[in-house]
Chains A and B, each alone.
Chain A
Amino acid sequence: MDYLLPALGMVFQGDILLIVLLSCLFGFVVGVLPGITATMAVALMVPITFALSPLAAIASIVSAAAMVMAAGDVPGALLRIPGTPASAAYVDDAHKLTLQGRAGYILGVGALCSMLGGVVGSAVLIFAAPMLANVALNFSVFEFFWLSVLGLSCAIFVAGNDPVKGGLALLIGLIISCVGMEYSSGLPRFTFGNADLLDGVSFIPALIGMFALPEILRSFLRAGKDVDTSGTRAVDEWKNVFSTVWGYRRVVMRSSALGSFIGMLPGASADIAAWISTAVARRVSRNPEKWGTGHVEGVIGGSSANNAALSSAWIPALVFAIPGDTITAIAIGVLYMKGMNPGPAVFINNADLVYAVFLVFLLANLLLLPFGWLAVRIAKVVLAIPQRLIMPSLLVLAVIGAFAINNDFSGIAVMFWMGVLAYILEECDVPIAPIVLGIVLGKIVEQNLMQSLISSQGNLLGFFERPLSAVLGCATLFIWCFPVLRRILRRSPATAAA
């Protein structure tokens, strides 16, 4: 509480509020445009936030991400093209309602539920993060090592339905994190004499490349015309929106809680939160037969869960410096650049800043509602911007952004090669998100591993000596063995029967 007043003073300043508003506007436009994910929007925005103060930079990321997530519902509802993967979970019901002439209604419900979910997620963040940080202050390198390995392992299993390719993506991220001077000995690894690589592969240009370039290439390679936006008229129906959401208040609460929980897990993103809570809402629904015919319950469940997860994903990022999803992976990079090193100590060293960031979370999520109102009015105009006019501009923005991070042409080269790699990998159904987590977590895992080995003189039992690290270590080993165990358990009844 001691920090609340100074934090309020930090947030309620003209420039911060202006930046929050501008980032929301940027996030809104980008979220409405199909094919631009929240991660891509944030990655493109980081070079722009570079010149800002730490709070302004984080505030812009938080507000843009929240807005992209909420605005992603708009093209999903109007065109049946989800704006972000997270809104794909409930796109069918939302679009059916549009076809019934109730576009304004479903956009309103989406905006209101996004706001409610986001506020619940922010509240969980505000209360859980400092408590966890208190516990985490007692952690040694061993616990941090296991936590980061646990984060890596979760990243594989939740990345998609193919753990082999998810694991492959993670390994690619890990080997990229090895590039540059080694942490304990200063030996340059995998630099092949290139001085630009001594500091490692620049993270933000790599992200811009991986998330923007494949999408730009695909937009040109896609055969056929741009999307048809005729018949996307939305009529205002706000009165029904509030009564509907009140009627489904239990779904909102349950999905927000579920979304917050999923968001906290390292590697599990808002996309997964939306899918799981839509599925849960369907299973416990009173009228499951209405689903798929334009039923509002799934939209309520999914859109509150994805915004809740977006906020709570910051818990592992702030407390353990372990990203919960790709957006927080970027945020961790920005935090380091701004001297606000994430970890339990951030709540002591930078407490006022942390609480100011928390307030920005609340503010950005509350802004979702007025922007939802805006969405009903201007969605048609934004949707009418053809993708083939957006993508060339984004290409130039991506190049300038990759250059601007270090004022260096090597940033553009990194962006190019990482983009080509990501394009080829995505064509082979290899997910990109684990690569990002691998790049961020690789350095953390290796540092903790080396520190642990040095402090235990190379004795591997040291990793299990402290009670907490033993628990975390066993949990990690269990997750690794789980697929094998499951296979054995599944097979044994069959062999017994034979």
Chain B
Amino acid sequence: MRLSDTMLGLLVGAFGVAILWHIASYPTIPGHYYGPAMFPAIVGWGFILFGGMLLLRSIRQAAWRKPLLDWQTWRNNGRGALAALFVLASIQAYIYLGDLIGFQILGFLIMAVLFLWAGRTLVFSIGLAVFVTVLLDALFSKLLRVPLPTGVLSQFWW
């Protein structure tokens, strides 16, 4: 997924304007020109400057004729795109279901599915996923004493 320089320049410039607009409401220290808005303002102007340079460059090189968004790596590789989307969804699953279901089951499921996707047999995938899950859990919750949410397993987990 690739944004063209034209698109990037436009987005970055707009982001700079948004920063300046947002910080306009920040309070100032009475009697001084500096305050909490000063540094973000410098960065905001920087975004406008660098976005402008990108745009200028792409106009000069006539690069604006290129497609604004290039989806080739995702569109031409349905299987890979599916796995990548699964990766993103699985991280979201940790955020929203981690407490409820538990890290161990989620980790096991995610790894087993991805191992299967890689073309491994069911037995191998489940076996390796169980092994890595137990290994990581032992490392964090036993050795390093980070309490990982166990969710539905909390009754049975070691």
Residue contact A397 to B95, C-beta cutoff 8 Å: no
B65 on the interface (CB 8 Å rule)? no
Q: Do A168 and B50 contact each other (CB < 8 Å), given the known contacts A187-B26, A400-B136? A: yes
Q: Which one of A103-111, A112-120, A213-221, A474-482 is at the B interface? A: A213-221
- Which residue of B33, B36, B94, B143 contacts A403 across the interface (Cβ within 8 Å)? B94
Residue contact B43 to A171, C-beta cutoff 8 Å: yes
A228 on the interface (CB 8 Å rule)? no
**A180 to B70 Cα, complex, angstroms:** 34
A158 on the interface (CB 8 Å rule)? no
In whole Å, how far is B134's beta carbon from the nearest beta carbon of chain A? 12
Residue contact A400 to B103, C-beta cutoff 8 Å: yes
Bits for B116-153, please: 1 = Cβ < 8 Å to A, else 0: 01101000000010001100100110011111100000
In whole Å, how far is A178's beta carbon from the nearest beta carbon of chain B? 5
In whole Å, how far is A476's beta carbon from the nearest beta carbon of chain B? 14
Chain A 204-223 interface residues, beta-carbon cutoff 8 Å to B: 213, 216-217, 220-223
**A453 to B117 Cα, complex, angstroms:** 58
Chain B's closest residue to A174 (CB) is B43
B84 on the interface (CB 8 Å rule)? yes
Interface size on A, as a range, is: 35 or more
In whole Å, how far is A213's beta carbon from the nearest beta carbon of chain B? 8
Q: Do A168 and B12 contact each other (CB < 8 Å), given the known contacts A48-B144, A223-B80, A396-B107? A: yes
Chain A 39-79 interface residues, beta-carbon cutoff 8 Å to B: 47-48, 50-51
Q: Which residues in A have their C-beta under 8 angstroms from that of B81? A: 221
Residue contact A404 to B144, C-beta cutoff 8 Å: yes
Q: Which residues in A have their C-beta under 8 angstroms from that of B87? A: 213, 216-217, 220, 395
Chain A 418-455 interface residues, beta-carbon cutoff 8 Å to B: 419-420, 423-424, 427-428, 430, 442, 445-446, 449-450, 453
A: which residues have CB within 8 A of B? 47-48, 50-51, 164-165, 167-168, 171, 174-175, 178, 182, 184-185, 187, 189-190, 213, 216-217, 220-223, 386, 388-389, 391-393, 395-397, 399-400, 403-404, 407, 409, 412-413, 415-416, 419-420, 423-424, 427-428, 430, 442, 445-446, 449-450, 453, 458
Ranked 6 nearest A-B pairs via Cβ? A392-B114, A388-B118, A220-B83, A182-B36, A404-B146, A51-B144
B: which residues have CB within 8 A of A? 1-3, 5, 8, 12, 19, 22-23, 26-27, 29, 32-36, 38-40, 43-44, 46-47, 50-51, 53-54, 57, 73-74, 76-77, 80-81, 83-84, 87-88, 90-92, 94-95, 98-99, 103, 107, 110-111, 114-115, 117-118, 120, 128, 132-133, 136, 139-140, 143-148
Can you pick out 30 interface pairs between chain A and chain B where the beta carbons lie within 8 Å of each other?
A47-B140, A168-B12, A174-B39, A174-B43, A175-B40, A175-B43, A182-B36, A185-B35, A189-B36, A220-B117, A389-B115, A392-B110, A393-B111, A396-B107, A396-B110, A396-B111, A397-B136, A400-B136, A400-B140, A407-B146, A412-B94, A412-B98, A415-B91, A419-B91, A420-B88, A427-B3, A428-B8, A453-B32, A458-B33, A458-B34
